[in-house]
Each structure stands twice: as C-alpha cells, then as structure tokens.
Amino acid sequence: MSRIEGVLQTLKGQGRKALIPFITAGDPHPDVTVSLMHTMVNAGVDIIELGVPFSDPMADGPVIQLACERALKHGTSLRRVLAMVKEFRATDNATPVVLMGYLNPIEAMGYEVFADAAADAGLDGVLTVDLPPEEADDVAPLFAARGLDPIFLIAPTTTDERIRAIADHSSGYVYYVSFNGVTGAARINVEEVAKKVTHIHELTALPVGVGFGIRDAETAAAVGRVSDGVIVGSVLVDTIARNQTDIEKLKRELTDLLNPMREALDSLAS
C-alpha cells in the first residue's frame, strides 16, 4: 500500500477528511520550502502538494503564476524540487508528498530519470495538469514500477465515460476541480460540487480530493462534508506572497490559516 493510500485509509477509518495544502516549491525562496512543509505538517495537514514552478502555467491564475515567477527567479528546477522532497523525507517519513505541475519540466528531465529520482527522493504521487490519461502511456509503467501514484484531474465538464477511464489510470486519489476556471478564482458552488462528487463516488472507489476555490474553514467544511479531502492552494500562496521577507511571520500566518480548516474538517467527524 502506498503512503498516500495508507494515510487516506487511516483517515477514513477515523471518519476524518484529508487536509491537503498546495504551495509552489521555491517560493519565496528554495531554502525555505522544506521548513514551510514541516510547518504545515505541524498545523495538521495530511498530504502535501508541492508545485513545480513552470514558465507558462496555463491552468493557474495570477497568484500561482507570480509564485512560479518568484521560484524560477531563484533557480528552482525540477531537480532542486526533488532535492527538497528528499530533505523533507529525512525527518518526516509519514506525510505523503505529491508533485503538481506541468509536463514539460518532466519531459526535459526524461521520464525514466525523473521516475528514478522521484522514487529515490521519497516522493509519493505525481499530478501533471496538462497530461490527460490518453497521453500517459509512456509514464504510467515507469511510475507504477516505482510505487508512484499517478493522480489525475476530473472537472465539471468530465463525462461519465471519462471519469471511469481516469479512475482506471489513477491511484491514491483523484483530484476534482471544483469549477471551470483557473486556480484562485472565486467561482465555487458547493451544491454543484456536492452533486458531482457524490456522482464520482458512484463511479469509482478511489478517494476524491476537491480543489480550486477553497479559501477558509467554512468552504473547507462545506466541501469536506461531501469529499474525502480538500486541497487548499491559492490562499496559502497568497499568504507567502505577502510575507516574503519575514519567514517566522509567514509560518505563523500559514498556521493560523490551516488550524481552523483542520478544526472545521475534524468537527465533521463527530
């Protein structure tokens, strides 16, 4: 059983929901990322999605675009991100880490070289925004052989036929994008999300994480009620943007954002 499956199964046994933060690796600086990851674990998160910065993040809104630019300015390459995962793993053997990003940095590194380095670093999952399952034939066996969970997106526009196909190609969890749009937009409609996630649960046994538009304890709880986990990104990245120089203050603010989300999610269990 993969680390991701283990964590999600334990949570399910406890009737709890996963809190999954997203930050862009290398933002505000590559030297800070690992300690921000530990801070988030201390604030109660279950799985970390680490963004690999890309020059042309087409699926992201301005908040994450700017985070990519900051990270790239400090030379955050995919190799460097994997080194961060390895460093994190040295002192945290429990929290799964998923890389989230675009295909080209992986393609430039070489699929097999990447898969080897990812496994060596202790990475758990890979979510490539612009790689649908149809194009994943080359990477799938490489990931499977190394125990890396391929995580794919499901969108409001995804047909039932595609949901089944996506689930067949996925392990760990599937990521439901809560609305048509880019990251950081405020378009979430909790009722529609509930309907679609319930439907996805009918089509696959995989856990469903929901991301896009979750900004606070209230939206986290509303979405957590129907899903297996919530993914929180832009609001954290925005906090990083506002506290680039004072890292201690940044850690306090991240903790202050995540703690109420954790409490709100856990209050659903009772």
Partner 1 sequence: MSVKLTEEMLTALPDARGHFGAFGGRFVSETLMDSLVTLEREYLRLKKDPEFQATFDKDLADYVGRPSPLYFAERLTRETGGAQIWLKREDLNHTGAHKINNTIGQALLASFLGKKRIIAETGAGQHGVATATVCARLGLECHVFMGAEDVQRQSLNVYRMKLLGAQVHAVTSGSRTLKDAMNDAMRDWVTYVDETFYIIGTVAGPHPYPLLVRDFQSVIGRETRRQALEKAGKLPDALVACVGGGSNAIGMFYPFLTDESVQLYGVEAGGLGIETGQHAAPLCAGRPGVLHGNRTYLMEDDNGQIASTHSISAGLDYPGVGPEHSWLKDIGRANYVSVTDDEALEAFRMLTLVEGIMPALETAHAVAYAVKLAATMEKDQMVVINISGRGDKDIHTVAQLDGIEL
- Judged by the rule CB under 8 A, the positions of this chain that interact with partner 1 are 54-62, 65, 72, 77-79, 102-109, 129-132, 134-135, 152-159, 162, 166, 177, 180-182, 185, 187
CB of 141 to partner 1, least distance (A): 18
Nearer CB in complex with partner 1: 155/190: 155
CB of 155 to partner 1, least distance (A): 4
CB of 182 to partner 1, least distance (A): 5
Choosing from 27, 46, 60, 149, which is the catalytic residue?
Answer: 60
CB of 189 to partner 1, least distance (A): 14
Nearer CB in complex with partner 1: 46/238: 238
Catalytic-residue membership of 60: yes
CB of 14 to partner 1, least distance (A): 30
CB of 105 to partner 1, least distance (A): 4
Nearer CB in complex with partner 1: 223/264: 223
Nearer CB in complex with partner 1: 43/82: 82
Choosing from 27, 31, 46, 49, which is the catalytic residue?
Answer: 49
Rounded Cα gap, residues 257 and 243, in angstroms: 14
Nearer CB in complex with partner 1: 207/217: 207
Residues 6 or more apart whose CB falls under 8 angstroms from that of 257 comprise 216, 232, 235, 236, 239
Q: Reduce the secondary structure of the chain to three states and give it as a string.
A: CCHHHHHHHHHHHCCCCEEEEEEECCCCCCCCHHHHHHHHHHCCCCCEEEECCCCCCCCCCHHHHHHHHHHHHCCCCHHHHHHHHHHHHHHCCCCCEEEEECHHHHHHHCHHHHHHHHHHHCCCEEEECCCCHHHCCCHHHHHHHCCCEECCEECCCCCHHHHHHHHHHCCCCEEEECCCCCCCCCCCCHHHHHHHHHHHHHHCCCCEEEECCCCCHHHHHHHHCCCCEEEECHHHHHHHHHCCCCHHHHHHHHHHHHHHHHHHHHHCCC
Nearer CB in complex with partner 1: 203/268: 203
CA distances from 209 to 74, 138, 197, 225 (A): 31, 25, 9, 11
Catalytic-residue membership of 49: yes
Which are the catalytic amino acids?
49, 60
